[in-house]
Amino acid sequence: MVKMICFPLPNHKFECILSLPHTKLPYRLLQVSLYRLPLNGVCSCFSIRITEKTIRGKIKENQIENCAKEMLVGTSAPIVSRSAVLPCRFWFQSGPTDFKLVGLNKHYHSIKNPSSKFASVRWNRKANSNRSAMETFTTRASAQPLKNADELIDSVETFIFDCDGVIWKGDSLIEGVPETLDMLRAKGKRLVFVTNNSTKSRKQYGKKFETLGLNVNEEEIFASSFAAAAYLKSINFPKDKKVYVIGEDGILKELELAGYQYLGGPEDGAKKIELKPGFLMEHDEDVGAVVVGFDRYFNYYKIQYGTLCIRENPGCLFIATNRDAVTHLTDAQEWAGGGSMVGALSGSTQREPLVVGKPSTFMMDYLANKFGIQKSQICMVGDRLDTDILFGQNGGCKTLLVLSGVTSLAMLQNPNNNIQPDFYTNKISDFLSLKAAPV
């Protein structure tokens, strides 16, 4: 049984602990997001950050009750596929799931069925322990340096690789990548490449792999641009509705392949708004979704147009390909990532997006179903803790952090870092050299 203890905070946020008894450790801390589905079909989310901190100060019982009520309201909207939306697969699992909301006054209630009506919640006032609830949980062990690559390779069937910072940096291939991929294929391993970068379609990424001298099939590539189109298909997004795109060519191409009408994209990058007295900006009322990805042509026109669609078109979805803070446009430095564009729309609409890229498990579920992969037989390899590693952990996979991209060893070992991979190493070519120590 999965157990979750949530400490409610203002603005419908929570600090939580998850208990996953099926893991090797008694309890495992994860960072997750909980989504609720209002009756009008518009999706919004509650962000939950797993920490080891206890909350200071007094929280009133009605604050906890209100937060719980918000989480449980309106779960019957048919427009959204819950299995596709929710990064926490256990949230709507068929088996019994015990959720506990705990206040500092030690009152708590259990929710046996989170999709049931709020009236089913019962308060328990007998809990009188003086210890913090946090003390009863064990944190995830620190990551271990990869010492025996063969043991890890032999323990899984599939490797999922992030691209930026793992396979390449900008347009430069990272040393030893071709030999490493050839070795894994020779051992019969399935290789899949997943990137949050939405500027290219799968076909365009295939050309980039080819340009870098890597033999990668298009069916092995999954970009967040493809994930946005795949998500719309998974919820049966109406073909008579349009998608407004704040992003680049990759999203447009994937939407076109999926048969969806779209507007926006790079061509709106040259548009300007002349703020004259009484000026009213028009927008297309047939837009049913706004997809936001990394956009080097981002401007105020796009912010306003996307904001109008989300706020004024009934049921308009707000979808983000990713929320990456930085990206590698060149190998010389880090550049502002897609999260900066998403943040602008989130700020203007006062809504949180539905994220289809990492660390959401939508792509993981899609891959597992497409290839018939058991998630326990997957190793996720990436350079980011809050996207790649969390993506693997949310999906129940083994995780390997490489230090060739965004994350440094100091960042990994920082006491404030809550996300710990199973292993870490300098770069994926360490697979070629790290062998078990002789007995």
Indicate which residues carry an active-site annotation. Answer: 157
- The b/e string for 374-406 (b: 16+ C-beta within 10 A; e otherwise) is ebeebbbbbbbbbbbbbbbbbbbbbbbbbbbbb
Residue carrying the six token digits 């600090």: 15
Is the N-terminal amide bond of 359 cis, ω within 30° of 0? yes
Tokens of 26: 């008694």
Q: Helices marked H in 223-299 — which ranges?
A: 224-234, 249-258
List of E strands, 273-364: 287-292, 317-320, 326-327, 335-336, 354-355
Q: E strands within 237-395?
A: 242-246, 261-264, 287-292, 317-320, 326-327, 335-336, 354-355, 378-382
C-beta of residue 293 within 8 angstroms of C-beta of residue 247: yes
Q: What is the largest CA-CA distance in the chain?
A: 81
How far apart CA 306 and CA 351 sit, in angstroms, is 12
Calpha distance 282→290 (Å, rounded): 16
Residue 322's nearest CA partner among 305, 343, 304 is 343
Distance separating the N- and C-terminal Cα atoms of the chain: 41
